[in-house]
Structure 1
Amino acid sequence: MVIPVHDVNPVRRTPWVTYALILANIVVFLRMPVAATSVTGDSSLAQLCHLQAFLEHWGAVPDELINNRPPRLVPTGHAAVGPNGAAGCLIGQPGYTKSPPLSVLTAMFLHGSWLHLLGNMLFLWIFGNNIEDRLGHVRHLLFYLASGYVAAYVFALAHPDSSDPLIGASGAIAGVLGAYLVLYPRVKVWVLVPFLFFIPLRLPAWVVLGLWFVLQAFYSAGYGVSAAGTVAYVAHVAGFVFGVLMALPLRANTVPPPDPRQAAVRRY
């Protein structure tokens, strides 16, 4: 797996939406119960129960999405010890009203660890600015959110009985990657290849993103990962395919914004 660090693809307008999305993801993560414990890796049962209740409240649960109904019993966020000495999290009726469709939106801004967050934000930072440059601010935001919704609901259709909360911006960002592959396949991307140490290489985007997609599809089919894996590879694949399909008409019909450097030359 290669790690992208920079693309040689300048933008013609400031990607305010991409910046805002990155900032929002970071701010939300800092307010999550997992922010402090993910650094040390140490957490008590009470902290785990609090996190479980938080994710159940704000995450997108496939069973709820498919049936379009809120949960009847959820973790309360409190730990308890049973008569036999077994410890666990208390379950009870939710003290809040949850909308399954709206939970997809809130889940896009939740992450399970610093590594999860920083990995997603790196991809959004590198590739999101050019998609926003091509689409414009409003259309980029709508496209990003639509990719996240498609990814979440496709994952729910593939796992309709799952009660595990789905969180993360990966599905939405996968849509950005799919669009980038269609619109800028030949753009060079600097990557780090882990081989004994990190080797810097400059590869075309179609190689970097094509390899990423192949790996996600491979993993989503159950190859190379355990059945108990916690990464929603199906959502990645769905978001990427959606991005490709949405970008295909743009490749032929949308003219990129004028390059300000060229405009300056014409004025002289």
Structure 2
Amino acid sequence: MFPIRDHNPSERTPYVTYALLAANILIFLSYWPLQTNNPNDLGAFWDAWAMRPVEISQGIDLHTLVTSMFLHGGWMHLAGNMLFLYIFGDNLEDQLGHVPFLLFYLACGVLADFGQILADPNSPIPNVGASGAIAGVMGGYLLLFPKAKVDIIIIFIVFFKIFPIPAWVMLGLWMAFQLFNGITADIAGGGVAYWAHAGGFIAGFVILIPFWLRRGGQAFWQQTEGHPPHPDAKYSPSTIPVIPRRK
């Protein structure tokens, strides 16, 4: 289950969201050859730019709190993060403005790193990815637009189906998965920084509470019934074919 679009196109061009998408993709392409041709150089690259909790705990390599959020471990890691940023980033940028949104994004990414550091401060494992910052965007989206429609695609092995659901359902389930996976990963081990995801999500939600209150709090929700303040986009029903089970 993952989102493919929301029903809320922004009213102005989300230049910062587009710039972040471009920056993440171009930076990934710049070091991708190291992943396939030069494992030793790749290790040195991670050592210089990826965030290691043990180093931050010791007060060294603090620049990696920012640089790590523009690095990704592979194509699927990059594609998943960019999809979520593309879906949810434009509406927050529309509400906050270009520069405030950029500062919000970076702050969520740094605070997400601290979520992972608090969970395992002595870990030497390099952490990379925009997931924490994008989780913050999702947390802010949940606060401002809890009833916005999000189309998710569910894959059932033999067929696919698109469902429009409220944002609070999709984002609430996503957050619950991060908490569950974070707890189980602490027990069994794993390679995903779930506590960074959870920390970023909570940070984004909390940071935007003053903004939400200035807009009227619950009155802001009542004005648009929890949707962005413009008409929803209308999409035609899903034309993804159902693949019948073979007998």
Conserved? CA contact 2:114–2:199, under 8 Å: no
| Residue in structure 2 matched with residue 243 of structure 1 by the alignment | 204
Whether the 8 Å CA contact 1:179–1:243 is kept in 2: the answer is yes
Contact 1:105/1:145 (<8 A) preserved: yes
Structure having the larger proportion of residues in helix:
2
Counterpart residue number, 2:47: 56
Matched, 1:203 2:165: yes
Whether the 8 Å CA contact 1:213–1:240 is kept in 2: the answer is yes
Deviations 1:175-231 (A, max 9, x none): 0000001101101111101112221110010011111000001001116x9733110
Displacement of 1:48 in angstroms is: 2.0
For the residues of structure 2 that align with 1:107 and 1:160, how far apart are their CA atoms?
Answer: 16
2:20: which partner in 1? 21
Matches within 5 A, 1:63-82: 63-69=54-60
Q: For the aligned residues, what is the CA RMSD?
A: 2.1
Secondary structure of the structure 2 residue equivalent to 1:23: helix
Tell me by how many angstroms 1:36 deviates.
Answer: 6.2
**Structure 2: gaps (5+ residues):** 221-227, 232-247
TM-score normalised according to structure 1 size:
0.77
How many residues align? The count is 220
TM-score of the aligned structures, taking structure 2 as reference length: 0.83
Contact map agreement 1:62 1:155 (CA 8 A) in 2: yes
Q: Which runs of 5+ in 1 are unaligned?
A: 38-42, 70-99, 261-268
Partners of 2:50 and 2:67 within 8 A in 1:
yes
Instruction: State the structure with more CA Rg.
Output: 1
Matches of 2:116 and 2:21, distance apart in 1: 24
Distance 2:51 2:77 in 1: 17
2:29 maps to which residue? Answer: 30
Inter-partner Cα distance in structure 1 for 2:127 and 2:11: 35
Deviation digits for residues 63-94 of structure 1 (CA, Å, limit 9, x no counterpart)? 1101112xxxxxxxxxxxxxxxxxxxxxxxxx
Residue 103, structure 1, aligned to residue 102, structure 2: no
The answer on whether the counterparts of 2:34 and 2:41 sit within 8 Å (CA) in structure 1 is: no
Percent identity over the alignment is: 48
SS of the residue 1:108 aligns to: helix
Query: How far apart, in 2, do the equivalents of 1:198 and 1:59 lie?
Result: 37
